[in-house]
Structure 1
Amino acid sequence: MSWTRRSAGLLVAAMVMPVAACTADGGGAEASCVARYTYQDLTYQDVGNVKFTPGKKLGVAAEPPCEDTGGRGGSEEPAGSTETAYEVDGISPEVAIAVGDTPETARFFAVSSGSELPSEVQKLMDGS
């Protein structure tokens, strides 16, 4: 293999590695980059593939900015995006919500409470 080809391969690998640090499966600062939304002073975290039925529209959920910059010296972080929050049938909005443009495209988010999922969410996951 030529020096040019090896160097190009290393360059591509170096460019891809920082992106992986902000994914749920990556290393480093992934906890700050997990998909999160806030709604009515509660923070919800993406739970993944959960079968659920979205209910009525609740309002607007805000996505906090990713905090993986290692400190920005006091400068303001850009605001995150907003999406529509929906009820999840059978679960209180104090425990879980669905977030997305439409009920059909909404994803399931549960209240962040350390490493444990709320029992209502765990029951839904066990039944899915």
Structure 2
Amino acid sequence: MHELALAQSIIEVVEARAEECAVRQVRTVHLRVGEASGVLVEALQTAFTMLASLSPVLAEARLAIEVSPHRAWCEPCASSFAVEDFIARCPACGTWSTRILSGTELQILDMEVGADPQQGGQEQAKNG
């Protein structure tokens, strides 16, 4: 189950970023997961919830996952298309001269954090 290792890596990255930003509580971690990435979203959610409960910074955090479609670009046709069954052959012209546009990524987009009681409100920290 590589989702457990992925969840641990996500938590380590978020904890490091939270420390850099002097954040005490992360409420939500936003991810983008490609539908062709090989990641089982439900297993990742479960692993994250389990491991985050052990972290003082992430104990109440939830994982918000955006799934990106598997798409490719056809050079000869100059058009994009949905990749079906991992076959990146252009459905219009039949060429294999394609470039994958999306669907293989696993990205931490940002995190919503609990505000410092002195500041009030809610903040958002971008990864980068």
TM-score range, shorter chain: under 0.3
Structure 1 length normalisation: TM-score? 0.21
Q: Specify which structure has the higher proportion of strand.
A: 2
Instruction: Tell which has more relative contact order, 1 or 2 (C-alpha 8 A, sep 6+).
Output: 2
